[in-house]
Structure 1
Amino acid sequence: MKTITIIDTFGFFFRSYFALPPLRNSEGFPTGLLTGFANLVDSLHRDHSTDYLVFALDAKGRTFRNDLYPEYKAHREAAPDDLIKQLPVAIEWIEQMGFANLSREGFEADDVITTVTKFAREKGLKVRIVSHDKDLYQMIDDGVVVMYDSVKKQEVDEQACVDKFGVHPKDFINFQAILGDSSDNIPGVKGIGKVGAAKLINQYHTLEAIYEDIENCGTPRIQNLLLESKENAFLSRELVTMRSDVFKDLDVESFVFEDKNYLSCLLEEFEKYEMKQAIKKAKVGLDETDCPVVEKPKSAALSFEAITLDSKEKLNSVIESIEKDAIVAFDTETTGLDTKTANLVGFSFCFDAQRSYYVPVGHNYLGVEAQVSLDDAISALKKLMTFQVVGQNLKFDFSLLYNQFNMEPIIPYADTMIMAWLSNPGSKVGLDTLAKTFFKYEMKPFKEMVKKGEDFSAVAIEDATFYAAEDAWMTYLLYGVIKKKMELSSLTHLLKEAKNVEYPFINVLIRMENLGIKIDPSKLEALQKTLSEDLATLTSEIYELSGSEFNIKSTQQLGVVLFQQLGLKGGKKTKTGYSTNEAVLSALVGEHPIIEKILEYREYQKILSTYVEPLLKLAKADEASRIYTSFVQTGTATGRLSSRDPNLQNIPVRSALGRSVREAFVAKEGYKLVSIDYSQIELRLLAHFSKDAALMDAFNQGADIHLATAIKLFGEEEAKEKRNLAKSVNFGLLYGMGPKKLSEDVGIAQAEAKEIIKNYFASFPTVKSFLEGIQERVKLDGYVETILKRRRIFDYENANGMQKAAYMRESVNTVFQGSAADLIKLSMNQIDTIIREENLDAFMLLQIHDELIFEVKEEKVEEISKRFVHTMENILELDVPLECSVSVGDSWGELK
């Protein structure tokens, strides 16, 4: 028996849109629906061969059902913008491939499908309907007409209909007449659900039979409901009944599905939309197809004119020509990366796509050409800053202007690095990478410009002009294309988030970086001496225990000593020798006394070389013994700040040695260090998002959440004893912890850990469904959002098994960690404003994730701390209260 496949076109497209991740090309145009369509066409021969193929489409405008019932489909929500953008493209593709596509004014696709089915049956064809529309279940007739689920790739037969709805396809119209359909605004019989409707239909089969025997039809309540909605029931049946007379005649033979690669006709389209997998599929058997393939013309290479402005007159003339509301991309060139000490070598700016300008100021080499004086450059820079300034990593450029020229803080119009990060926080956002990504353009590398041991001031002005002007020009282009991408990707809310939160935050970070934090060098020197002596003692002890002298820092030599000389078990050989990482050594604890000594040696050596010596060197280099970190706004996918050169967010806190390093961080004379820390912020966010009654009650009543959890899990008697276990569960589940990890962390059997997790979800029932909901959204949408609607994208569809498991953990982590990052960022902006506007004798120095560290005048500590706590606790209204803990001390080590 030959087969005809009829595709419910819009129904398939809608399902395809929601089933696939939000794929996009480099322009930001959505391609998820188009990818699903290409996959379907490609699989027609392979997965479900067919002899005939036709696409059924809804006609525009009203249908006969609207005439019957004006409220029909009246309350349907508008389709997502991304879906609407792709529909006309997909419909055009149907025509380009030469497929039959049928529609008729006044009718829906379901009516077209029913009509085609009637003609196909008359021809003796098997009918396969690709649709998820339950209205079409009335068409199912085993062996003759089946529905097909294109996502699950399986046929839907009579038994599937019975399993899902409790009635046979032949009774489906009357079943729907009672049940109604809220999505189409079909009234049905109000008060009777799926089970009740199925029971009635299985007994009576038709509405007529029900109303003829109404006095015996179910309970008195059911009888009343049926009588009250009798008119609606018959109207509903008319609305759900498919019409089979849309066309008077159809030539089914014109719908032949040929044995050729239909996708080859769309090769140019797939290249246009950057659909790599579809391109591969389109090229299969390309020589055999009769579709003409047109070579895509190569786009002209990007280029611009780089212009040197080497005099005050030239510079002012160009600046005066800039329109008042122009977008001006801006960049600086300097002698180094420390904006407190670096000198300005020159700056570049661009306000159209054809030309870009470089202003040399501080080039220094034999025979250097004309340059603009520093005073004239500063005057010009101040004028430039009155325009709508955009840049790439403006934190650096603005910090330089503030430090070197004492310029007033400026909130930028845009920063392309931040825009790119907000668009896809897991991607690389450097200028070179963005140029390649969006324009396939190779930027001039810095290392080709500056020789080793020199700085930018030694670069010839002619060469510097192209290099510097290129940076400003590319930034100008990137601003336009990233903005367009965000708009096409329905991310305009993140452009607002950038303006309101991220761009003001740039100046907050600059101020913190410039303040630094004071170090007591004598404490580090004492620690350096102690650690060096301890390491010498440990070295002697390790040599004695091993019976030989060797380089303890060499993993190769250590491996030989442990697994060959001492004959310890569990040695795993790699290409470079035995593995001696922490996990391997920890597993050997108790096997030989040398293991504990080596672990101790490694800890002491790490503290000395990673923290004590570098921090001491930095402190000695500054007159005030302060060290200055650099905060990276775009350094993490979750939205947390990161810190580097040095990283002050990973100073150890758990070990006594780590705490001794923190004791070297001190307040300046007359001041105290104040720590304000969000308490259990991620659990509070869990309560807020999940709306779990038990969690919300605990937080709203000010209960100890870990004790409250312990009571729920273990009962009143054991709760205090097992509070720490409950704490591990509370936090662990936010990061995807399973029974295995819990058993390892708290030292219990895996079976017991499994039971505890099971009981946890039973005690907080909506938590589990909320966490699972996050993971389902990753599978369907391809992203999750924080409380400020920042997105993190996961390409779940194209991930392997390990990546998918990681995405499940990371998605949950991002919602909570990312939302906590949002809250503290909002707090930092607000607190910074308070400090500046009121000229408070307080300084925000560090952010350590959920904690802020301030330097506050000693006599003002209590007053100012209360104000900052109030700000942090009221920064955003949640369904549970935000709470902060405060700690005061002379050193960071004293802060809890």
Structure 2
Amino acid sequence: MKTITIIDTFGFFFRSYFALPPLRNAEGFPTGLLTGFINFVDSLHKDHNTDYLVFALDSKGKTFRNDVYEEYKAHREAPPEDLVKQLPVAIEWVEKMGFANLSKEGYEADDVIATVTRIAKEKGMKVRIVSHDKDLYQLIDDGIVVMYDSVKKKEVDEAACIEKFGVKPKDFINFQAIVGDSSDNVPGVKGIGQKGASKLINEYGTLEAIYEDLENCGTARIQTLLTESKESAFLSRDLVTMRDDVYETLDLENFIFEDKNYLSCLLDEFHKYEMNQAIRKASVGEPADCVIKEVSHDARHVLGFEAVTLDTKEKLFRVIESISEDTIVAFDTETTGLDTTKDKMVGFSFAFEDTQAYYVPLAHNYLGVEAQVDEADAVEALKKLMQYNIVGQNLKFDFSLLYHQFGFEEMVPYADTMIMAWLSDPGTRVGLDALAEKFFKYDMKPFKDMVKKGEDFSAVSIEEAAFYAAEDAWMTRLLYFALKKKMELASLTPLLKEAKDVEYPFINVLIKMESLGIKVDQNHLKTLQKDLSSRLAKLTEEIYTLTESEFNIKSTKQLGEILFVKLGLKGGKKTKTGYSTNEAVLQSLSDEHEVIGKILEYRENQKMLSTYVDPLLKLAKEDEHSRIYTSFIQTGTATGRLSSKEPNLQNIPVRSELGRSVREAFIAKEGYKLVSIDYSQIELRLLAHFSGDKALMEAFNQGEDIHLATAVKLFGAENAKAKRHFAKAVNFGLLYGMGPKKLSEDTGVTMNEAKEVIKSYFATFPTVKSFIEGIQESVKIDGYVETLLKRRRIFDYENANGMQKAGILRESVNTVFQGSAADLIKLSMLEIDTMIKEEELDAFMLLQIHDELIFEVKEEKVHEIAKRFVHTMENVLELNVPLVCSASIGDSWGELK
């Protein structure tokens, strides 16, 4: 059987554009799409055993679908300018190489593909369609028509269609009529997702059959949704159905794929665009004299650059003054350390071109050090440089340094590549080295190779420092363009706006909080230190007595031997390094021996002493005001929550007595009070907002106790108060994917009882169940979920194993609620920061602990200001249910509720 390969041309070009780095020739013309296209043509003989080849193109202007539905594809964003520049060149190359290309006015490429497929099938050919467009799944016909994934290099057949969408290709049109397609603005049936649609189609087959039996079709809610969207469903089916009559017939012999080098005719073009790999590919089998053309050194490859040292005022200002207005300039600093409040700048680097980057030395300090720029001149130059569109990698550090060392006014960056990388894929590594490897397969020079142990960057020679520092700026600039392209491909351009409006200004909020720190009571910590040490000594003796042994209690290996060998306790699991003695194991043994309780208490006391009390006391002694300074990480979690480090103040236990005693050490400075404001039941309010569940919304809108209201619904009014704690466990647990096993463990009921409670809960709140299932369905199809501000978290559900898939389904639900709560508190922090700044309030935002903000406020104004902050947080965004905050005031963190 002969094979014909049909290329979905524009779809393929889009993939090529976004799959490669932002390559350009010496004149700045983009060549990434062209490079990807040529790589594909070169691989045709190797990867595509085909007899015929044809490129299908969209026609210009509107199609017959726009006549059917004016809004069809109405909201699609314009493609990036660099892509638009390359498209006509690529299409011209298709023609120059002699490949057949088909398009017809009023039709889309999909219709051309469907028509060629029909004609090829009639002639007994196998059809391979190179495309990622799900609309084309309707054409799959096992053994005859397959799709081809050019990235994974595998065929997509009927089994793959069923696995991904839950329906057969023959039913795909009716399935799409219900699901719709947001990218093409195909409405579908609002409220029914993939799972619901596949269930309906697998049972009924067609829309007609569904509507003929509507009274028996699914739940009452499904019936209502289908009734409301009947016209929309049939319209959607018309829009997604491909026409296979664009041509009555075609002479497929015109599409023969020959065994020859198709690229050789484009040699001059490849020289023009300085595409060296393409030149080599086109030269295979060609005479040598048609190949030899020298390409300028600077244009040989995008991943080569020259590091230029600017060691005089004249050189520095000459370069800065040559930069055009509105130019994107990548910026980075080199310092003596990582504390921007104390450490100093050694030099800075910047880049605004593809092949050059600059380093400005200020404070290198070694015997025989060469010329450097005077600090005053450097500051003047930096002020000029900051007027351009500044991009950087973790600009929180660099801007904090400029604020503290040189007194710069607050600035908002044009872009931060670390934040862009995190927004585009929150689960990925966002360090510069990792991003350089991921996007460009480029190895950055390691910091450890530059700075010797015991020294800092000022001891590095200027010559070595210039390459290292300039490389950072140069790579950051390349990454900015690559990340921007990636986000545009993934329809993440709204997140570029979110970054500009929220994430970049938020950098300055964090810098302020890090600079302020929070005061601690050294005497309280010393007392706690003494008490914990005394208690640990007593516990040690008690453990030795009970085990009749003296051993290192902190050693898990020695402890395992004592518990499971000497004492003979059951349930020990031996690993390569000895018996496991983690908390879960010890808890399971708590009734087996008196020593277990003592060991658990020992560990809690030891953790409080070594993790919190000792380090906090050490840090407090180092500061003249006894303040502790944490570092907030904006990109540290996949859900969007802030994390903190050195020290981590977000993990101090809040429920344990020892945890509260540590929090009591954090105090307000003299004349001030600490204020805590936190969102009440924020995730459940978001659940009500997103799901629109009437029972939940009614409870919140009427100000009811939501857990008591849930208990009434589940267990009846007479049992509600006694079961409130149970209802609370269910309310919060189901948001985080809790199953009957976990509910059983947390509440002490049997597995069967837990199953019945969950079943009853979803029957009571039916919209909640369908909403949560909708989240899980969308992650299976789309591979991501979105928060309130449309931040995405990416999940590779398709390639996960069974256990990973279950975890992804739990995490996807968790992310929607926890991530949206993070969005809300971030917006609140921005508004409150603006209020403090503009009104010069005697109040300071110190800490963010997930859904809680902690402030230090002048005592005389504390109630008035706290009330205003609460109002801001409750009105930061309008939801379908009210946001409610609780505030508490005290002298220490431990007093705050």
Task: Name 2:587's counterpart in structure 1.
Answer: 586
Deviation, structure 1 residue 475: 1.8
Deviates more, 1:378-387 or 1:719-728: 378-387
Letter in 2 for 1:491: L
Structure 2 distance, partners of 1:845, 1:119, is 69
Counterpart CA distance in 1 for 2:326 and 2:882 is: 43
The answer to whether the 8 Å contact 2:119/2:250 transfers is no
Question: Is the contact made by 1:6 and 1:56 (CA closer than 8 Å) also made in structure 2?
Answer: no
Deviations 1:565-619 (A, max 9, x none): 0111111111111111111111111101111111111111111100000001001
What does the per-residue CA deviation read over 1:793-815, in whole Å, with 9 as the maximum and x for residues that have no partner? Answer: 11222222222222111111111
Write the mapping of 1:697-708 to structure 2, written as runs, cut at 5 A. 697-708=698-709
Q: Partner residue of 1:531?
A: 532
Which residue does 1:194 correspond to in 2? Answer: 208
Instruction: Give the direction of change, closer, same or farther, for the CA distance of 1:834–1:9 in structure 2 (3 Å limit).
Output: same
Please give the per-residue CA displacement for 1:141-166, whole angstroms capped at 9, x wherever unaligned: x99999999444699xxxx99x989x
Matched to 1:673, the amino acid is L
Shift of residue 480, structure 1, vs aligned partner: 2.5
The one-letter code of the counterpart of 2:462 is: I
Name the structure 2 match of 1:176: none
Find the residue that maps to 2:549 and give its secondary structure.
coil
Instruction: State the alpha-carbon separation in 2 of the partners of residues 424 and 331 from structure 1.
Output: 23
Please give the alpha-carbon distance, in whole angstroms, between the structure 2 residues aligned to 1:711 and 1:331: 59
TM-fit CA distance, 1:77? 3.6
Distance 1:91 1:737, change over 3 A: farther
2:862 paired with 1:861:
yes
Q: Are residue 76 (structure 1) and residue 72 (structure 2) matched?
A: yes
Tell me by how many angstroms 1:55 deviates. Answer: 8.7
Residue of structure 1 equivalent to 2:577: 576
The question of whether the paired residues in 2 share the 8 Å contact of 1:118 and 1:244 is answered with no
SS at 1:811 equivalent? helix
Matched residue of 1:798: which SS?
A: coil
Q: C-alpha separation between the residues in 1 aligned to 2:735 and 2:580?
A: 32
Instruction: Give the match for residue 331 of structure 2.
Output: 330
Name the structure 2 match of 1:890. 891
The match for 1:820 is 821
User: How far apart, in 2, do the equivalents of 1:686 and 1:344 lie?
Assistant: 48
TM superposition shift of 1:73: 5.5
Q: Does 1:410 align with 2:411?
A: yes
User: How far apart, in 1, do the equivalents of 2:748 and 2:145 lie?
Assistant: 59
* 2:681 aligned residue: 680
List aligned pairs for 1:24-39, cutoff 5 A. Answer: none
Q: CA deviation at 1:759?
A: 1.1
Give the drift of 1:886: 0.4
Q: CA deviation at 1:244?
A: 8.2
Deviation at 1:135, TM superposition (A): 14
Instruction: Tell me by how many angstroms 1:738 deviates.
Output: 0.9
- On the 8 A contact 1:435/1:442 being kept in 2, the answer is yes
Which residue does the alignment assign to 2:307? 306
1:110·1:136 contact (CA, 8 Å) conserved in 2?
no
Distance 1:353 1:662, change over 3 A: same
Deviates more, 1:671-680 or 1:94-103: 94-103
Residue 245 of structure 1 deviates from its aligned partner by 11
Give me the whole-angstrom Cα distance separating, in 2, the residues matched to 1:622 and 1:587: 44
Cα separation, partners in 2 of 1:144 and 1:654, compared to 1, 3 Å: closer
The residue number in structure 2 matching 1:552 is: 553
Query: Partners in 2 of 1:373 and 1:70 — Cα distance?
Result: 65
Cα distance in 1 for residues equivalent to 2:73 and 2:748 = 52
CA distance in 2 between partners of 1:182 and 1:858 (Å): 56
TM-score by length of 2: 0.76
Partner Cα separation in structure 1 for residue 624 and residue 441 of structure 2? 47
> Is the Cα contact below 8 Å between 2:316 and 2:381 reproduced in 1?
yes
Kept in 2, the 8 Å contact 1:786–1:815? The answer is yes
| Contact 1:761–1:768 (Cα < 8 Å) also in 2 | yes
Q: Alpha-carbon deviations, 1:545-582, whole Å to 9, x = none?
A: 11111111111111111111011111111111111111
The aligned counterpart of 1:499 is 500
Shift of 1:725: 1.1
Q: Contact 1:310–1:359 (CA<8 Å) still a contact in 2?
A: yes
In the alignment, residue 194 of structure 1 is paired with which amino acid? E
Does the Cα contact within 8 Å between 2:726 and 2:747 map onto a contact in 1? yes
Question: How far apart in 2 are the matches of 1:112 and 1:852?
Answer: 57
CA distance in 2, matches of 1:531, 1:362: 46
Alignment of 1:779-818 (within 5 A): 779-818=780-819
Q: Partners in 2 of 1:396 and 1:608 — Cα distance?
A: 31
Q: Structure 2: which amino acid aligns with 1:559?
A: G
CA 1:56–1:244 in 2, change beyond 3 Å: closer, same or farther? farther
Unpaired runs of 5+ residues, structure 1, are 168-180, 185-191, 200-228, 266-293
What aligned pairs does 1:160-199 form with structure 2 within 5 A after superposition? 194-195=208-209
What letter matches 2:208 in structure 1?
A: K
1:721 aligns with 2:717: no
Distance 1:94 1:459 in 2: 52
Asked if 2 retains the 8 angstrom alpha-carbon contact of 1:631 and 1:644, the reply is yes
- Equivalent pairs: percent with the same residue? 65
Structure 2 residue 634 is the aligned partner of structure 1 residue 633: yes
Question: What pairs with 1:51-70 in structure 2 (closer than 5 Å)?
Answer: 60=59
Report SS of the residue matched to 1:624. coil
Could you tell me how far 1:386 is from its partner in structure 2? Answer: 2.2
Q: Distance in 2 between matches of 1:241 and 1:479?
A: 39
Aligned to 2:747: 746
Q: Secondary structure at the match of 2:798?
A: helix
What amino acid does structure 2 have at the position aligned with 1:387?
A: Y
> Residue 408 and residue 101 in structure 1: after superposition, are their counterparts in 2 closer, same or farther (change >3 A)?
closer
- How far, CA to CA, are the matches of 1:811 and 1:723 in structure 2? 27
For residues 99 and 388 of structure 2, the distance between their equivalents in structure 1, rounded to whole angstroms, comes to 54
1:666 corresponds to: 667
Q: Report the 3-state secondary structure (helix = DSSP H, G, I; strand = E; otherwise coil) of the residue aligned with 1:407.
A: coil
The structure-2 alpha-carbon separation of the partners of 1:313 and 1:143, relative to structure 1 and needing over 3 Å to count, comes to closer
* Structure 2 residue identity aligned to 1:805: A
Q: Note closer, same or farther for the CA distance 1:88–1:619 as it changes in structure 2 (3 Å cut).
A: same
1:825-840 aligned within 5 A? 825-840=826-841
- Contact 2:364-2:458 at 8 Å conserved across structures: yes
Residue 370 of structure 1 and its aligned partner are, at CA, apart by 2.4
Tell me by how many angstroms 1:383 deviates.
2.3
CA contact (8 A) 1:53 1:100 kept: no
**Bigger Cα displacement from structure 2, 809-818 vs 616-625:** 809-818
Worse-superposed segment, 778-787 or 69-78 = 69-78
Checking the alignment, whether the CA contact within 8 Å between 1:486 and 1:492 is kept in structure 2 is yes
- Identify the residue that residue 850 of structure 1 maps to in structure 2: 851
- Residue aligned with 1:358, SS: strand
Q: Which amino acid aligns with 1:471?
A: D
**1:518–1:414: structure 2 CA closer, same or farther, 3 Å change rule?**
same
The amino acid of 2:316's aligned partner reads: L
Q: 1:751 to 1:462 in 2, by over 3 A?
A: same
Are 1:444 and 2:440 matched, yes or no?
Answer: no
> 1:766: which partner in 2?
767
Deviation of the 1:418 alpha carbon: 1.1
Distance 2:96 2:570 in 1: 67
Please say if residues 640 and 821 of structure 1, whose CA atoms lie closer than 8 Å, have aligned partners that are also in contact.
Answer: yes
- Is the CA contact 1:82–1:490 (under 8 Å) kept in the aligned structure 2? no
- Whether the 8 Å contact between 1:688 and 1:696 is mirrored in structure 2 is yes
Distance 1:655 1:786 in 2: 32
Aligned equivalents of 1:573 and 1:425: distance in 2?
A: 36
Query: The residue matched to 2:781 in structure 1 has which SS?
Result: helix
**Alpha carbons 1:710, 1:722 under 8 Å: kept:** yes
What is the CA deviation profile of residues 412-436 of structure 1, one whole-angstrom value per residue up to 9, with x for unaligned ones?
Answer: 1211111111121111111111222
Q: How far does residue 350 in structure 1 lie from its aligned partner after superposition?
A: 2.2
- Are 1:54 and 1:101, in contact at CA under 8 Å, matched by a contact in 2? no
Look up the match of 2:875.
Answer: 874
* SS at 1:854 equivalent: strand
Residue 329 of structure 1 deviates from its aligned partner by 1.9
Residue number in structure 2 paired with 1:653: 654
- Contact 2:121 / 2:144 at 8 angstroms: preserved in 1? no
Counterpart mapping for 1:277-676 below 5 A: 300=301, 302-676=303-677
CA distance in 1: counterparts of 2:721 and 2:145, whole angstroms: 64
Give the gaps of 5 or more residues in structure 2: 24-31, 148-154, 175-185, 190-205, 214-230, 264-290
Instruction: Classify the secondary structure of the residue corresponding to 1:709.
Output: helix
Q: CA deviation at 1:331?
A: 1.6
In structure 2, C-alpha distance between the alignment counterparts of 1:789 and 1:583, rounded to whole Å: 37
